[in-house]
Amino acid sequence: MKIEFENNIIEFNVQYGKRKKISLHIDSIGHITVKAPKDTSEEIIISAMEQHGKLIMEKLQAIAKAQEIPKTREYQEEGKFLHLGKEYFLHELIETGELMEEELKKNLKKFYFASCKKIVGERITRYQTELRVKPKTIDIVESRTKWGSCSSDKKLTFNYRLAMAPIEVIDYVIIHELCHLLHMNHDRSFWRRVGSIMPDYKEKQDYLARYGQSMTL
């Protein structure tokens, strides 16, 4: 479902169950879930969301701000960059020589693309076998807003910046996107399937929300 609040579209998932009241949950990456009694009408749910519109927008804006990508980096031998969750000096990741900043940045991005492609290629085999799914294609891309995506025609993409995250966080994003081959929405069935493979997936979400802004060039 979705509502419009002060010219902003707020999308959310609804979970119906045996409960007495409507409750609202916004996770660390901005997914909104409304839990409602089984026979609650759509009008009542929308009304409840509209009443909390200001609070929801404040929360979403805070999450977006925390995920903003810093603009400055030191491209020199002793500049530090993340790889698989650990900090390395630039010269430990790529050849630096007498290269200028733009060339260093270009080469470092190539390094991350190659690293991400290798890691995802190695890790995804295990999980697609476990989930009994097979994506049509797997691509590594550059994105400012998404760590991964799954299209309706079973094409998966992964953000090259994932190579900066710990392996278990990369695994979470892989599992997340593979589960979308079974459930395109973030409904209860989707999260149950993610949790069946990675019970502590919320910790990985929190990592991306907390440290995603530092995983950048």
pLDDT digits (tens, 9 = 90+) for 24-69: 988 766 788 899 999 999 999 999 999 999 999 988 888 776 665 5
Percent of the chain with pLDDT over 90: 61
Q: Would you say 29 and 208 are in contact if contact means Cβ atoms under 8 Å apart?
A: yes
Q: Is the pLDDT of residue 23 over 70?
A: yes
- What whole-number distance in Å separates Cα of residue 31 and Cα of residue 35? 13
Q: Please give the radius of gyration of the chain, using alpha carbons only, rounded to the nearest integer.
A: 20
Burial class of residue 191, CB neighbours in 10 A (0-12, 13-18, 19+): buried
Question: Does the pLDDT of residue 76 top 80, yes or no?
Answer: no
Confidence of residue 73 (pLDDT cuts 50, 70, 90): low
Residue 178: the pLDDT is 97
Please name the helix (run of DSSP H) or strand (run of DSSP E) that holds residue 10, with its range, or none.
strand 8-11
pTM over cut 0.85: no
Q: Quick check: helix, strand or coil at residue 214?
A: helix
Q: What is the mean pLDDT of the chain?
A: 90
Q: What structural domains does the chain harbor? A: 2-66 (no CATH), 80-214 (3.30.2010.10)
Could you read off the pLDDT of 87-142 as tens digits, one per residue?
899 999 999 888 888 999 999 999 999 999 999 999 999 999 999 999 999 999 99
